Amino acid sequence: MPTPPLIFAVPKGRILDEALPLMARAGVVPEDGFHDKANRSLAFATTRADMRLIRVRAFDVATFVAHGAAQVGIVGSDVIEEFDYSDLYAPVDLDIGHCHLAVAEPADRTGSEVRASHLRVATKYPNLTRRHFERMGVQAECVKLNGAMEIAPALGLAGRIVDLVSSGQTLKDNGLVETSRILDITARLIVNRAALKTDPRVAALVDAFRAQAQRQEAA
């Protein structure tokens, strides 16, 4: 029986752009069509006959790997912390994709609800958001959004948002200010725990990415 291919899950967007050079140095090189912006395919061959890439949303990377549909992946630590999958192991910090998760609110209303025991917050991170506010003794009612978070306060959907922040320009453009920092984020190599124990190719990839991350840190 032929050995099934390794499935390597990667996220769309900025993390992938930063990850591709690191992936190449670790021996994970996608086929030419992968770089075509017009290509809507989700699965791609690589220069390794025993490996295929899937390109999906960041939250789905963690789900595919946790459930064993993919054995290896790259995703931000925000996704790992949000879901806390027991079958997911993140052995390597890739030191790319730097940003942070923060609470923000309209600049003209900053601090107006500091003593409230209940807040409505728009976010795609309900678990991290609830835990953050619980530590402050506040109950957070989370309104789940997958995008356009910054407009939620202006439309009265929620008084605050919790979202990823990089430069902070998007917040500023929408009249919001950051009021607290929840989590510093970097991209991580993730693996399925069972696959790591049973497939030596997974362990070899972990070693290859760890070596590249150490070289990058030393540079």
Question: What does the domain layout of the chain look like in residue ranges?
Answer: 6-97+186-218, 99-184
DSSP H helices, 46-199, are 58-66, 77-83, 126-134, 169-173, 193-198
pLDDT at 69: 97
Predicted TM-score of the model (pTM): 0.90
Question: How far apart (Å, rounded) are the C-alpha atoms in residues 66 and 76?
Answer: 14
The mean pLDDT values, 10 residues at a time, for the chain of 219 residues are 89 92 94 79 93 95 96 97 91 95 89 70 96 93 93 94 93 94 97 96 96 80
| The predicted structure's pLDDT at residue 38 | 75
Q: Alpha helices of the chain — where are they, by DSSP H?
A: 14-25, 58-66, 77-83, 126-134, 169-173, 193-198, 200-218
Class of domain 99-184 as given by CATH: alpha beta
Q: Write down the residue that tokens 């730097």 correspond to.
A: 98
Among candidate residues 164, 97, 98, 169, the one with its CA nearest the CA of residue 129: 164
CATH: 3.40.50.10320, 3.40.50.150, 3.40.190.10, 3.40.50.300. Which one for 6-97+186-218?
3.40.190.10
Close Cβ partners of 79 (under 8 Å, ≥ 6 residues apart): 58, 59, 61, 62
Q: Residue 217: its pLDDT value, please?
A: 74
Residue 109: predicted pLDDT: 76
Neighbours of 201 (CB within 10 A): 16
DSSP state of 3: P
Do 6-97+186-218 and 99-184 show the same overall fold?
Answer: yes
* Biggest CA-to-CA distance, the chain: 65
